[in-house]
């Protein structure tokens, strides 16, 4: 048998020669220098092999990194599957147990130094202490209000307002004293104000029983502002289960294709807080990286109309609510191809409003004043939307 001098310097029989990356080795020298990754099988030089104490095996760099991570506190390398995550930070078991706890009330995880002596997170502590202005993440179980069981559309209103300096807490207490049908929260977009968040209610209940006139009266008397600011808006949430999947698509088409008209109704054009989408049927209702769109689809149970400028004028609040109600019901009776035609879709919307003018009388007047309503209010029933 022919004997060959291998690149490793050893004499090797030809049939026992091992070749790797263009160089030849005897068996002993090859295994002294190379091994296979235990996960992917790639042959790697032993100088760049990564040994896992937990798995008692060696890996290439890529596989090792996929299987392991470092604790953000002690920097110990741990198996990814055994790690714990809080606020995108990775912890080993010991550091997680030492630094992270759970609120006794809501059971949400938070850092131990954020829990009070009763084991409550800041939000729950504020709630239990009776503080009027809750933290921005405060979210109680919703209570639904409706006098007409045939009306399945519920609206939750978020009204943002700026308050005079040093008066914010006393104003909030006066407003909250009116009712428990809403609560008051902090809002990071405001300079010195709060947002009033209602429990979900039907349009009729909002207008007849909610007491919006009393809420806005206090805000006006106390010198609060909403319309004459750059920070305030009104957001209206509607229940997703009011719509079929097809109706959600039609809602997205109508709102976004009627951008110019709706901006007049909403009294603002805001690319930062309520951007309109380009109308493409595919993806019109998909969640996106930002919730700051005219229609926010990211909430699990609601669709949020975000386009309206803030106001503490009761009739304007009603107009906004009537518009959301009218659009939500209108799109149920219209096909998508009819909505894609901008002017035709709006004409059909006008007809729908006239056929339901007892419900939407305030909105009709509002649209006429803004030169957005061209259909006469005495349209005969034979013009009803098909």
Give the pLDDT band of residue 22 (cuts 50, 70, 90).
confident
How far is 326 from 233, CA to CA, in rounded Å?
20
pLDDT of residue 376: 61
Could you tell me which of 218, 208, 235 has the C-alpha nearest to residue 320?
Answer: 235
**Whether residue 164 has pLDDT greater than 70:** yes
pLDDT of residue 327: 98
pLDDT of residue 136: 85
CB 163 within 8 A of CB 175: no
Residue 181's contacts (CB-CB under 8 Å, 6 or more residues apart) are: 143, 145, 198, 199, 201, 210, 211
**Whether residue 267 has pLDDT greater than 50:** yes
pLDDT tens-digit series, residues 185-203: 999 889 999 999 999 999 9
Whole-prediction pTM: 0.66
Give Cα separations from 221 to 64, 225, 374 (angstroms).
65, 10, 37
pLDDT of residue 382: 42
Structure tokens at 191: 């300079």
DSSP strand pairing (133-134 vs 182-185): parallel
Angle, helix 314-330 to helix 212-221, in steps of 10 degrees: 140
pLDDT tens-digit series, residues 43-59: 888 888 888 888 999 99
pLDDT of residue 149: 83
User: CB neighbours (10 Å) of residue 155?
Assistant: 22
pLDDT tens-digit series, residues 102-113: 998 888 899 998
Give the pLDDT band of residue 275 (cuts 50, 70, 90).
low
CB 226 within 8 A of CB 179: no
Could you tell me which of 331, 339, 380, 334 has the C-alpha nearest to residue 357?
Answer: 380
pLDDT of residue 176: 96
Domain ranges of the chain: 1-36, 155-383
pLDDT of residue 28: 87
Give Cα separations from 280 to 283, 284, 305, 342 (angstroms).
7, 6, 19, 14
Mean pLDDT of the chain: 88
Percentage of residues in the chain having pLDDT higher than 70: 90
Percentage of residues in the chain having pLDDT higher than 90: 62
Q: Give the least confident one: 112-116, 286-290, 299-303.
A: 286-290
Structure tokens at 111: 């850092």
**Whether residue 383 has pLDDT greater than 60:** no
How far is 373 from 354, CA to CA, in rounded Å?
10
**Whether residue 287 has pLDDT greater than 60:** no
In this structure, which topology does domain 155-383 adopt according to CATH?
Answer: Creatine Kinase; Chain A, domain 2 (3.30.590)
Give the pLDDT band of residue 290 (cuts 50, 70, 90).
low
DSSP 11-80: EEEGGG-EEETTEEE-HHHHHHHEEE-TTT--EEEGGG-EEETTTTEEE-HHHHHHHEEE-TTT--EEEG
pLDDT tens-digit series, residues 117-142: 888 888 888 777 778 998 888 888 89
Give Cα separations from 334 to 255, 325, 338, 385 (angstroms).
14, 15, 7, 8
Residue 38's contacts (CB-CB under 8 Å, 6 or more residues apart) are: 55, 57, 58, 59, 63
**Whether residue 310 has pLDDT greater than 90:** yes
């Amino acid at each position: 048998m022919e004997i060959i001098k291998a690149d490793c310097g050893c004499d090797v029989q030809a049939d026992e020669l091992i070749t790797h990356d263009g160089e030849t080795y005897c068996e002993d020298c090859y295994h002294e220098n190379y091994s296979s990754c235990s996960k992917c099988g790639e042959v790697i030089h032993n100088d760049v092999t990564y040994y896992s104490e937990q798995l008692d095996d060696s890996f290439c760099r890529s596989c090792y990194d996929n299987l392991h991570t470092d604790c953000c506190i002690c920097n110990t390398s741990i198996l990814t599957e055994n790690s714990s995550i809080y606020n995108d930070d990775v912890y080993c078991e010991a550091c997680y147990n030492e630094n992270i706890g759970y609120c006794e009330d809501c059971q949400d995880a938070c850092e131990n130094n954020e829990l009070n002596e009763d084991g409550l997170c800041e939000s729950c502590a504020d709630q239990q202490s009776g503080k009027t202005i809750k933290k921005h993440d405060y979210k109680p179980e919703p209570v639904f209000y409706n006098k007409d069981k045939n009306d399945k559309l519920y609206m939750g209103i978020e009204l943002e307002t700026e308050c005079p300096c040093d008066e914010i807490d006393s104003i909030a207490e006066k407003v909250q004293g009116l009712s428990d049908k809403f609560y008051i929260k902090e809002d990071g977009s405001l300079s010195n104000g709060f947002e009033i968040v209602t429990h979900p209610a039907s349009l009729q209940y909002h207008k007849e029983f909610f007491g919006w006139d009393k809420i806005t009266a206090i805000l006006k008397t106390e010198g609060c502002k909403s319309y004459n600011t750059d920070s305030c808006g009104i957001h209206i949430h509607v229940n997703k289960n009011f719509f079929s999947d097809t109706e959600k698509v039609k809602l997205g088409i109508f709102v976004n294709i009627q951008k110019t008209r709706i901006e007049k109704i909403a009294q603002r054009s805001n690319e930062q807080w309520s951007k309109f989408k380009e109308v493409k049927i595919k993806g019109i209702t998909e969640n996106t990286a930002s919730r700051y769109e005219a229609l926010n689809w990211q909430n699990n149970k609601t669709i949020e109309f975000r386009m309206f400028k803030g106001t503490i004028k009761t009739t304007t609040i009603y107009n906004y609510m009537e518009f959301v109600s009218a659009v939500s019901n209108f799109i149920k009776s219209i096909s998508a191809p009819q909505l894609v035609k901008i002017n035709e879709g709006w004409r059909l919307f006008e007809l729908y409003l006239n056929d339901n003018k007892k419900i939407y009388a305030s909105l009709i007047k509002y649209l006429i004043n803004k030169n957005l309503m061209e259909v006469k209010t005495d349209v005969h029933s034979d013009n009803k939307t098909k």
